[in-house]
Amino acid sequence: MQFSHRLGLFGAEVFAALNDRRVALEAEGRTIYNLSVGTPDFAPYPHVVDALTDAAQDPAMWKYSLRDLPELKQAVCDYYERRFGISGITPNMVASCNGTQEGVGHFALALADPGDTVIVPDPCYPVFQAGAKLAGADIYYYPLCAEHDFLPYVADIPAEVADRAKYMIVSLPANPVGSVGTPELYQEIIDFARAHDLIIVHDNAYSDIVFDGPRGGSFLGYPGALEVGVEFFSLSKSFNVTGARIGFCVGRPDVVAAFAKLRGQIDFGMFLPIQKAAIAALTGPLEQVEEQRLKYQERRDALCDGLEVLGWERPNAHGSMFVWAKLPGARTDSMAFCEELMEKAGVIVTPGASFGPSGEGYVRMALVLPPAGIREAVEAIRAAGILG
């Protein structure tokens, strides 16, 4: 059987490989601390679960939805005003998707043709690259490096690249590097997009997990953003509903309409009980979201403080549910280090190289254990003697 050449665009799935080894080690009776995959260990909020289960009792809710419920679109608009202080979002600026992974993965098919250029951060969440590759687009990587605090530095993007690019992906708070944007940076990005007539695609999955400063916000709240961009907004991390796959493309109407048209060819719409759950999340209380942010900060502190005591350079961790840590000592091979850490200490983290060339020399650690569990993981690293 000759399979599509597209499959050759993608390497081995690192999360699956790590999970396979985890299962094998646990079968041997090993204690494993899995900090590799960013799925929250917190429970979804009861009012969200109730909305889904109540809706699921109605047989009519099991039919094709074929559309986003008007009340769902309005709930997104109202949430943007209540949570982010943005009053200009209207229903024609909102389209659902089955999570940001699916949304960004299909986005390039709506905007880019083979040979078009897409500007992508490096390191980045892998689907940013995968979506562009599926569309046959050429990828230009802009580095997120320590020199610029792991933030986009548009001054280094050549003008000729920007002029031919269809869109640029910006992810802040950033997965995997944990950096958080500033008003000045967002304005630079908006001005850059205007100057080169390109679309900004902002991944905003972690707006409610920001540490040591002002509360996280939305790219769309900055002057000019609605003229040049869209934002992928997810309920997964704020409301602990990762498996339900609830996301939205929000922003410039013509771009949202193009995205919705594409999705209409491959999907019959979000499951209606999930739409009801999304409405409950968007219209319900937000106190628990803030309480959860503080718990993530406790975890961040436990991990970063513990690694620093072991002699690790203090990781970059200002936002998102991840810590971006430089390999200790003179190590340079992130995959080899992850394998050593797993075998000797039972601690599973993700190699930085799996997020792009600039990720080599780093590992990503997910804040998916309570502080006590994180301290146990740090102690396991110490006891294994990995750092000498």
Domain boundary among 283, 303, 325: 283
Q: Are residues 64 and 164 in the same domain?
A: yes
How many residues would you count in the chain?
A: 388
Q: Choose the final residue of a domain: 235, 259, 283.
A: 283
Element (H, E) at 164: helix 159-164
**Same-domain check for residues 99 and 36:** no
- The pLDDT-based confidence of 12 (bands split at 50, 70, 90) is low
The CATH number that applies at residue 10 is 3.90.1150.10
Phi, psi for residue 346 in degrees, rounded to 5: 75, 20
The answer to whether 279 and 72 have CB atoms below 8 angstroms apart is yes
Name residue 175's amino acid: N
Domain that residue 327 falls in: 5-43+288-384
Do 354 and 328 share a domain, yes or no?
yes
CA 26 to chain centroid: 28
Q: Three-state SS for 340?
A: helix
For residues 15 and 78, state if they share a domain.
no
Query: In terms of domains, do 275 and 292 share one?
Result: no
Crossing angle between the packed helical segments 70-84 and 272-283, to the nearest 10 degrees: 30
Structure-block tokens of residue 38 = 């960013």
Closest Cα partner for 294 from 222, 367, 192, 191? 367
Same domain as 143, residue 71: yes
Q: In terms of domains, do 262 and 341 share one? A: no
Integer angstrom CA distances of residue 333 from 33, 137, 304, 356, 361:
21, 29, 21, 13, 6
Are 143 and 250 contained in the same domain?
A: yes
Render pLDDT for 292-341 as a digit per residue (tens, 0 to 9): 999 999 999 999 999 999 999 999 999 999 999 999 988 999 999 999 99
* Mean pLDDT over each residue of the chain, to the nearest integer: 95
The enclosing domain of 136 has a CATH number of 3.40.640.10
How many folded domains does the chain comprise? Answer: 2
Q: Could you tell me the two tokens for 225? A: 């953003």
Contacts of 368 (CB under 8 A, 6+ apart): 34, 35, 37, 38, 39, 40, 41, 321
CA angle centred on 167, ends 355 and 125, rounded to 5°: 15
> What number of other Cβ atoms are within 10 A of residue 59's Cβ?
7
Q: Is 297 exposed, middle or buried (0-12, 13-18, 19+ CB in 10 A)?
A: middle
pLDDT in tens, 107-125: 999 999 999 999 999 999 9
pLDDT for 2:
87
And the tokens for 229?
């961009």
One domain for residues 86 and 159: yes
Amino acid at 373: G
Residue 267 · residue 98 · CB < 8 Å? yes
Let me know: does 277 contact 49? Beta carbons within 8 Å: yes
- Give 269-294 pLDDT, tens digit per residue: 999 999 999 999 999 999 999 999 99
Say yes or no to pLDDT of 388 above 70.
no
Dihedral angle sign, alpha carbons of residues 327, 214, 234, 371: positive
| Whole-structure pTM value | 0.94
Q: Are residues 15 and 76 in the same domain?
A: no
- Do 26 and 134 have their domain in common? no
Q: Where does a domain end: 283, 318, 351?
A: 283
- Region 344-368: mean pLDDT is 95
Whether residue 324 sits in one domain with residue 180: no
- The CA distance from 36 to 15, in Å, is 7
- What is the β-pairing status of strands 229-234 and 199-204? parallel
